[in-house]
Amino acid sequence: MPARHCCALRTGLGWQPGNNRMARAGTGQVDEMLKQFDSFAETYANFAWYIPEHFNIGHDICDKWADRFPERTAILDVKAIHDVREISFAELKARSNRLANALRRRGVACAAGGIGDRVGVLLPQRVETAAAHIAIAKLGCISIPLFTLFGVEALLHRLKDSGAKGVITDRTGVGKILPLLAQLPELKVIMSVDGAEGPAEDFDVACMAEDDRFEPVATRAEDPAILIYTSGTTGNPKGALHAHRVLLGHLPGVEISHDFFPQPGDRIWTPADWAWIGGLLDVLMPALHHGVTVVAQRFQKFSAADAFELMTSLQVRNAFLPPTALKMMKIESEKLGLTAPMRSVASGGEALGAELLDWGRKAFGVSINEFYGQTECNMIVSSCAALEAPVPGVMGRPVPGHVVDVIDPQTGEPRPDGAEGTIAVLSPDPVMFLEYWNNRDATDAKFVSGPAGSWLVTGDRGQRDGEGRIRFVGRDDDVINSAGYRIGPAEIESCLLGHPAVRNAGVVGKPDSLRGEVVTAFVVPGDQYEPSRELADDIAAFVKSRLAAHEYPRDVRFIAELPVTTTGKIIRNRLREILRDEAAGT
């Protein structure tokens, strides 16, 4: 059982987090919207957190609405444009209650005064995915969002490291998990939405045998609820453990990035998988918190034309569209004249630039709002066109409720306007993670003390202008930012070494106009292997089948020796220099 970080949030009516002037006595309404004032500064100054002592995500995003407006549509589950299921909040409550009862019957539970069992959710966007997260939260347990394109090695690390007791998945997921069972002694429960197979039970049969009534566990806002794994530059991905309050912490960022969401008639969609924090906590859960319908569409492969058709035919008014999706949509839009009238569009992951912002106004009829965050502390900076015009190349301002600055990572002192430093968030903060799962050293290394208090350092470099806006400069570390995904090189390098032709490997990001960066692998081949295009393709396919489609190296290069330090650590900056020199033609 992991120890809680010392900067865990203090909750309750009238919570006062130090002197960061963002809380006053609450009203008792956690679904109260962010109030809009005449300027960003006024909106920020007048914001107040209300974090109750007890709060359960499952009850909040489902039962709360099912009890008040049972027939309201929670999810539009889209198999095809003309094959759409409307799922009401009442039905979502019944589904999640049956699943909670089924899991409890199979021994999944939260020990009194302890941390709840972990349950993986390995499914695409669909109603069962939402029901699974809701049911696990109601049980007082911890859900682990898992990407359907993860390969066996990626799944093994996450399920083994977390000590997962259960997994809810489909036929494809079962096929990946079965070969791993001997290495996962704690995994006792597997349910498949595609029916029974081997040790996997039929999800529907298991649920329909249960009562549709369930009393959610009275969890505290500070109790663990979600474990999301995030990549880093060294070692395996780390599990960022979040409390139930993380949903409340996301709300001001979601609301302001969507020009004061929700408004009457709002309906939201994202192509981002719900296994990522951007899909789960930037869209699905905040929308359900507000009683707004979420469109669930599981594209096998993103298509810009299909995205335009989906948004138009289903009257989507709000969307989170990652930068890569926007770039693909821009190409199709200009080629085919496609548009989709929207009320709000938000994007995050990399700077959009003036050209993409200008196109967005033509295609969507709105200014795209950029936001910034990371798995450990998300939705903390945003622009808001409803308050001021976005500035190209600038992420925006600190979101109301969050104290974000550019600091010296050694002293914790704020840097002067215009000076480069590390983007950091003052702790405690409701959206901030509790800790890295079973990794106290990494948790401690994420924080630095300064005169204002304890700062969570993002590892990203930035600048603050004279008006308080923050510009993203680059990363302190070697994490690759590709198509909105943060990808750690170490996991890919480790996987590469499993290929018989690879003696050593170093992975970096190469600048790319569409994806921001693409994963590039420098490979030292074994003595008996000759570099070739065929070998490079085989190595790339090897990684793609074992990790995830967004993580495999799209560019594999062969090199005689890797640049390393005296202790054998790869000097990745030298590899990036090779790519920079190549791009410059030197």
Q: How far apart are CA 541 and CA 551, in angstroms?
A: 11
Token duo for residue 44: 């920020």
Q: What is the reported pLDDT for 565? A: 64
CB 294 within 8 A of CB 269: yes
Taking the whole predicted model, whether its pTM rises above 0.85 is answered as yes
pLDDT band at residue 4 using 50, 70 and 90 as cut-offs: very low
For the ranges 395-409, 468-482, 493-507, which has the lowest average pLDDT? 468-482
pLDDT band at residue 103 using 50, 70 and 90 as cut-offs: very high
Closest CA to 118 of 94, 146, 147: 146
CATH topology for the 480-584 domain = GMP Synthetase; Chain A, domain 3 (3.30.300)
Q: Report the Cα–Cα distance between both ends of the chain, in Å, rounded.
A: 53
Distances (CA, A) of 127 to 33, 96, 479, 583: 26, 10, 32, 46
The secondary structure of residue 183, as a DSSP letter, is G
Q: What is the reported pLDDT for 32? A: 63
CB 252 within 8 A of CB 246: no
Q: How far apart are CA 101 and CA 208, in angstroms?
A: 10
CB 220 within 8 A of CB 241: no
Q: Is the dihedral of CA 343, 351, 228, 79 positive or negative?
A: positive
Q: Is pLDDT above 70 for 113? A: no
CB 167 within 8 A of CB 189: yes
CB 475 within 8 A of CB 465: no
Q: How far apart are CA 295 and CA 549, in angstroms?
A: 24
- 3-state DSSP assignment of residue 71: coil
Q: What is the reported pLDDT for 3? A: 37
Token duo for residue 179: 């070969």
Max mean pLDDT range (10-19, 370-379, 570-579): 370-379
The secondary structure of residue 220, as a DSSP letter, is B
Q: What is the reported pLDDT for 235? A: 67
The secondary structure of residue 249, as a DSSP letter, is H
Strands 369-374 and 377-382: antiparallel
Token duo for residue 131: 């029901």
Token duo for residue 515: 């994806």
Alpha helical stretches, state H, 196-320 = 203-208, 246-257, 277-279, 285-289, 304-313
Which residues neighbour 439 within 8 Å (Cβ) at sequence distance 6 or greater? 2, 238, 239
Look up residue 100 and give its amino acid.
Answer: A
Average pLDDT, the chain: 90
Q: How far apart are CA 421 and CA 407, in angstroms?
A: 5
Residues 91-102: what's their mean pLDDT?
Answer: 98
94 phi, psi to nearest 5 deg: -65, -45
DSSP letters of 276-294? SHHHIIIIIHHHHHTT-EE
Token duo for residue 202: 């039929």
Q: How far apart are CA 369 and CA 316, in angstroms?
A: 17
Q: Is pLDDT above 60 for 28? A: no
β-sheet bridge partners, residue 454: 427, 449
Residue 164, CA atoms < 13 Å, CB-side half-sphere: 30
Q: How far apart are CA 441 and CA 235, in angstroms?
A: 13
pLDDT in tens, 190-202: 999 999 999 999 9
- 3-state DSSP assignment of residue 443: helix
Q: Is pLDDT above 50 for 395? A: yes
Q: How far apart are CA 542 and CA 216, in angstroms?
A: 44
Closest CA to 507 of 461, 547, 472: 547
Mark residue 192 as left, alpha or beta (left: phi above 0; alpha: psi -120 to 50; beta: remaining). beta
**Where are the extended beta strands (E) located within 308-452?**
318-320, 344-348, 369-374, 377-382, 397-398, 404-407, 420-427, 435-436, 447-450
Q: Is pLDDT above 70 for 132? A: yes
pLDDT in tens, 564-582: 765 567 888 899 999 999 8
Residues 357-368: what's their mean pLDDT?
Answer: 96
CB 214 within 8 A of CB 97: yes
Q: Is pLDDT above 80 for 411? A: yes
* Rg of the chain, C-alpha, whole Å: 23
The secondary structure of residue 554, as a DSSP letter, is S
| 288 CB neighbour count, 10 Å cutoff | 26
pLDDT in tens, 39-66: 999 999 999 999 999 999 999 999 999 9
Q: How far apart are CA 98 and CA 191, in angstroms?
A: 13
The percent helix, strand, coil of the chain (3-state, each to 5) is 30, 25, 45
pLDDT in tens, 279-321: 999 999 999 999 999 999 978 888 999 999 999 999 999 999 9
pLDDT band at residue 555 using 50, 70 and 90 as cut-offs: very high
DSSP letters of 195-240? --BTTBEEHHHHHHTS-S-------BTTSEEEEEEE--SSSSPEEE
The overall longest dimension of the chain from CA atoms, in Å, is 71
Q: What is the reported pLDDT for 64? A: 96
